[in-house]
Amino acid sequence: MEDLTKPTAGSKPQDYSPTMNSPSAERGKTGWGVEDIPFPDGVAYIQARWDLCIGCGACEIACSMFHYGVINRELSRIRIYRYQTPLPKSVQNVCVQCSSEERECEKACPLTPPAIYYDAELSHMRVDIDRCLGAECSQCKEACSADIPSFYPPSHNYSIVCDLCEKKGKRRPQCVEICPSYALEFLKPRFPQHLERIHPDEKAEWLSKRLYPLAKDTIQKPLKDIWES
Partner 1 sequence: MAELNFKMLEVDLTRHKTNVIDVTEDVRQYLGGRGLGAKLLWDRVPPGINPLDPQNILYFSVGPLTGFLGSVVNVSAKSPLTLLRGQSNMNGHFGAEMVYTGYNGGLLITGKSNKPVYLLIRDNDIEIKDASHLWGKLNLETQFSLKQESKKHLGDQNFRVASIGPAGENLVSNADICHDFYHHAARLGMGAVMGSKNLKAIAIRGTRPPTYADPQKIFQLLTTFFGKAYPHKAKDRRWGHTVSMPRRYYEGMEGIKNKQMGWDAICDLSNPVLLEQGYKVWNDSCTLCPVSCKVPYMRREPPLGPCAGELRHDNAGGWNANVMIPGYETQVYLTPFVDNLGLDNEDVSGVVAWVMECYDKGLITRDDLDGIDLTWGNLEAICKLITKIAYREGIGDVLAEGLKFAPQKIGRGTEKYAMTSKGVAITSYEPRGSISEAVELAVNPCGELHGGRGHPQRVMLDSLTICTFLREPLREVFGDVAEWGVAMLNAACGWHLSKKDWADLTHRVALMERCYSIREGYLPQRDDTLPNRFFEEVIHNKYGKPLVLDQAKFQEQRAFHYSIYGLKQDGTPQREDLVRLGLDFVIPDLERLLGNLD
Q: How far is the CB of 40 from partner 1 (least distance, A)?
A: 22
CA distances from 186 to 45, 55, 204 (A): 6, 19, 22
Q: How far is the CB of 9 from partner 1 (least distance, A)?
A: 5
Report the residue number, 61 or 115, with the smaller CB distance to partner 1: 61
Report the residue number, 44 or 63, with the smaller CB distance to partner 1: 63
Q: How far is the CB of 29 from partner 1 (least distance, A)?
A: 6
Q: How far is the CB of 55 from partner 1 (least distance, A)?
A: 6
Residues at the interface with partner 1 (CB under 8 A): 1-2, 4, 8-11, 16, 18-20, 27-29, 31, 51, 54-58, 61-62, 65, 69-74, 81-84, 86-90, 178, 180-181, 211-214, 217-221, 223, 225-227
User: Which H, E and C letters describe 34-76, residue by residue?
Assistant: CCCCCCCCCCCEEEECCCCCCCCCHHHHHHHHHHHCCCCHHHC
Report the residue number, 7 or 42, with the smaller CB distance to partner 1: 7
CA distances from 93 to 9, 16, 46, 206, 216 (A): 31, 24, 10, 15, 22
Distance, CA of 74 to CA of 82 (rounded, Å): 14
